[in-house]
């Protein structure tokens, strides 16, 4: 599966979810729909599950990310994060929304 195919599928699925829903596609990263675009974020390394910072998946080797994305597409699982709901009504931190 190409990055473009995966991103299109991810976007379509997230648009149909309630506000604040994130795609938990890896134990280290998530994605969510802002209403305009997909935002990808790393989770903190301390195991808290809190969002650390946004990242651009195109800046990484797709071969490294593809297995996690493909597994998620086969069996999507979501999580509603109150902080993402808040960002939909307030401004996201610049490290996340950039």
DSSP 91: P
- Phi/psi for 43 (5° steps) reads -95, 155
- Phi/psi for 41 (5° steps) reads -135, 145
Q: How many domains does the chain have?
A: 1
Structure confidence by residue, pLDDT tens digits, 15-29:
999 988 999 988 899
**CA separation for the pair 29, 38 (Å, rounded):** 13
Structure confidence by residue, pLDDT tens digits, 48-92:
888 998 888 888 878 888 899 889 888 998 999 888 878 766 555
pLDDT at position 48: 86
Look up the pTM and report it: 0.82
**CA separation for the pair 54, 42 (Å, rounded):** 6
**CA separation for the pair 3, 17 (Å, rounded):** 21
Residue 35 belongs to what domain range? 3-97
């Amino acid at each position: 599966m190409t990055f473009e195919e995966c991103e299109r599928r991810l976007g379509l699925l997230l648009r149909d979810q309630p506000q604040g829903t994130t795609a938990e596609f890896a134990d280290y990263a998530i994605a969510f729909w802002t209403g305009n675009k997909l935002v990808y974020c790393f989770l903190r390394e301390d195991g808290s599950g809190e969002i650390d910072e946004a990242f651009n998946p195109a800046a990484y080797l797709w071969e490294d990310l593809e297995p996690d994305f493909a597994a998620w597409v086969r069996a999507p699982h979501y999580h509603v994060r109150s902080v993402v709901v808040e960002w939909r009504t307030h401004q996201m931190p610049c490290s996340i929304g950039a």
